A and B are shown apart, each in its own frame.
Chain A
Amino acid sequence: MRHKDFFFWGTFACAVTVIAFITLPLVQMLAAPSLEVLVETILDKDVLNSIVLSLSAAALAALISFILGTPLAYLLARREFRGKRLVEGIIDLPIIIPHPVVGIAILSVTGRNHWFGQLLTDLGIRIMGSVTGIVTVMVFVAIPFYIKAAKEGFDAISPRLENVSRSLGASMFSTFFRITFPLAWRSMLAGIIMACARAISEFGAIVIVAYHPMIAPVMIYERFESYGLKYSQPVAVWLISICLILFLLLRILTSRQKKSA
């Protein structure tokens, strides 16, 4: 009994420590700026623009991840092939590479010295210091999260459902849209949200590729560097509040549909 108690209180203490460790700094930061300062901050055009840019670029990156990542996720869930492990390893790479390295890597293929960068310049596409560059970096860091979530969703669907559908006369396309997608869309949406969240939080790679136009994390960093903690806090509060509300809304929206379905 004593041992059990010791075990229980031990785990309990660890749990409390972890939760406090995560919530305390966040709550402190959220509570720090006064309402007046918050209002003043959001009325600042630069702040508003940076937040809008962060959100829209991240949404676009998530959309691109969805379009490009879905077929790959499906392939990984359904087929066994030589080199599958390697492909999965490559998809994991953006998660493990240090963020500034990602930025440098992207610049090294898109720079003028590289044939690919030359090609992009000829096409009139600029990566360095542009929204295109920001979205590119975001897709790079976010797409693994989408692919993993979508693959998990596809894995959970028995291939037999697709087999039955096809034997009943449905083509592969019809089968995907009538059976696979309706059963996997929740996982896919979860993946989109994760990819979006990851894209919004990216700083290290973006600051190298595009300091301007300024996304919210870069602005927070700049204000902290030039003016100090007090001036960066309100921007941070606005960024995470808006993100939390958006994700919360999405959650509510999807769980409602689950009930009606």
Chain B
Amino acid sequence: MIKIENLHIQLGGFDLHDINLHVAENDFFMLMGPSGAGKTILLEAIAGLVPVKSGRIKVAGQDITRLPPEKRGISIVYQDYALFPHLTVANNIRYGLRFQKIEKNERDQRLHQLLASLNLQHLANRSPETLSGGEQQRVAMARALIVKPRVLLLDEPLSALDPSLREEFRLLLKQLQQQTMATILMVTHDFAEALALGHRGAIINSGKIEQSGRMEELFQRPQSTMVANFVGMKNLFAVTISGEDAWVENLQIQLGHSRGDGQGFIAIRPEDIVLSTGQLQSSMRNCFQGRIKQVISQGFYYEVHVNVDTISFCALVTKGALLEMELGEGEDVYLFFKSTAIHTF
């Protein structure tokens, strides 16, 4: 559906280069990366709102690189919603219709359908300034969808919402995606959010795509330290591999299979590390004794940092387990993980 080939954008302080992406029809594609990576600029380039230095953007086989934004059929929803302050909610939503050849019946029908499905009927005559963040967001979505765009671009739609509204909006997004069958490209800096919503995605960092593919693949098989860090692989170590073992300094970690000798990285998700106050009868190959350096509350669970020699591991523990095992800073503890939980790259 969307095909981006060798795109190069230079604008202000941003320099995006060698951007290659493929987004399939009806996909929910996640564009991820830290703040300032150039995600929004890339969205704007796809919408035709910023000039492109070289490369091509194709939608459904058609080269749109030089097409003005109004001829692309691509809607964009910004993080700050960008509602027109001088128009009512209904007129905001209706805005794009006048530029299309659509019959009046059809227009009214689309408007009412969107007002209903986004629960906005009671707000139709209000001014956008009087709406809450969640309401403004729904208006922005309706305004973007009413023209039935080929592609819908979402710029961090959840980041400006209260956490309680986020879950609700996530559901709504999924629902809308299924209803409209639009191809959605969404920008986010939150990997958990991306994982919950997207099918496929790409991680962008300092102007280039680090990795793209299915979400599970990005999550489980990061190909660089940047991606590993970004997807929340907290235990990331530079290692020397020999045979079936990886050495982090003087610590021997069993990989369970040989992978070719040499330098590399291993990563273990913190939720894959099990803590215990005593030795366990377990099939887990890797077992180390260490001392708890720090316990950090993360709300529903705790992040426990354990030092094994000079190497620091991070494990996630529920509050209940933490209390039961009486884990505290300075305590000795055993940590275990399966060799299959180790990701090497």
Contact = CB atoms under 8 A, between A and B. Distances in A.
**A and B: real partners?**
yes
Contacts of B48: 166-167
Contacts of A170: 70, 95-96, 99
Contact of B100 (A161, A163, A164, A169): A169
A158 B86 contact: no
Contacts of A11: none
Interface in B83-112: 84-86, 95-96, 99-100
Interface string A136-173: 00000000000000000000001011011111111110
Contact of A168 (B12, B68, B143): B143
B70 A166 contact: yes
B323 to A, nearest CB: 49
Contacts of B70: 166-171
B84 A161 contact: yes
Specify which of A167, A172, A174, A182 lies most central, judged by the most chain B CB atoms within 10 Å of its CB.
A167
B82 A166 contact: no
A261 interface: yes
Interface stretch (B73-81, B199-207, B222-230): B73-81
Contact of A166 (B12, B68, B147): B68
A183 B49 contact: no
A161 B82 CA distance: 5
Nearest to A185: B86
Contacts of A261: 86
B47 A163 contact: yes
A163 B77 CA distance: 10
Interface residues of B, number: 25
Interface majority SS (helix, strand, loop, mixed), chain A: helix
A31 interface: no
Contacts of A246: none
A169 to B, nearest CB: 3
Contact of A165 (B12, B78, B80, B95): B95
B82 A183 contact: no
A174 B49 CA distance: 16
Contacts of A163: 44, 47, 49, 69, 76, 78, 82
A179 interface: yes
B3 interface: no
Interface residues of A, number: 20
Given A161-B84, A179-B84, A167 B72 contact: yes
A173 B75 CA distance: 19
B71 to A, nearest CB: 8
B107 to A, nearest CB: 13
Contact of A167 (B76, B80, B84, B85): B76
A161 B143 CA distance: 12
A169 B44 contact: no
Contact of B74 (A158, A167, A179): A167
A179 B47 CA distance: 19
B86 A166 contact: no
A179 B82 CA distance: 11
A112 B48 CA distance: 51
A163 B12 CA distance: 17
A220 to B, nearest CB: 43
Given A163-B47, A167-B49, A158 B82 contact: yes
A174 B71 CA distance: 14
A168 B95 contact: yes
A183 B85 contact: yes
B324 to A, nearest CB: 51
B76 A164 contact: yes
B96 A169 contact: yes
Contacts of B78: 160, 163-164
Given A163-B47, A163-B69, A168 B75 contact: yes
Nearest to B149: A167
Given A163-B44, A163-B47, A169 B76 contact: no
Contacts of B47: 163, 167
Nearest to A171: B70
A183 B95 CA distance: 15
A172 B49 CA distance: 11
A172 B69 CA distance: 10
B152 to A, nearest CB: 10
Interface string A168-195: 1111101000110011000000000000
Nearest to A163: B49
Interface string B237-279: 0000000000000000000000000000000000000000000
A186 to B, nearest CB: 11
A18 B78 CA distance: 47
B130 to A, nearest CB: 14
A28 to B, nearest CB: 45
A178 to B, nearest CB: 8
Nearest to B72: A167
B94 to A, nearest CB: 10
Given A161-B82, A163-B69, A163-B76, A168 B147 contact: yes
A164 B153 CA distance: 11
The 3 closest A-B pairs by CB, nearest first: A168-B96, A169-B99, A160-B82
5 contacts: A166-B68, A167-B72, A168-B147, A170-B96, A170-B99
Given A165-B95, A168-B147, 10 more contacts: A80-B12, A160-B78, A161-B82, A161-B84, A163-B49, A166-B68, A168-B144, A170-B96, A171-B70, A182-B86
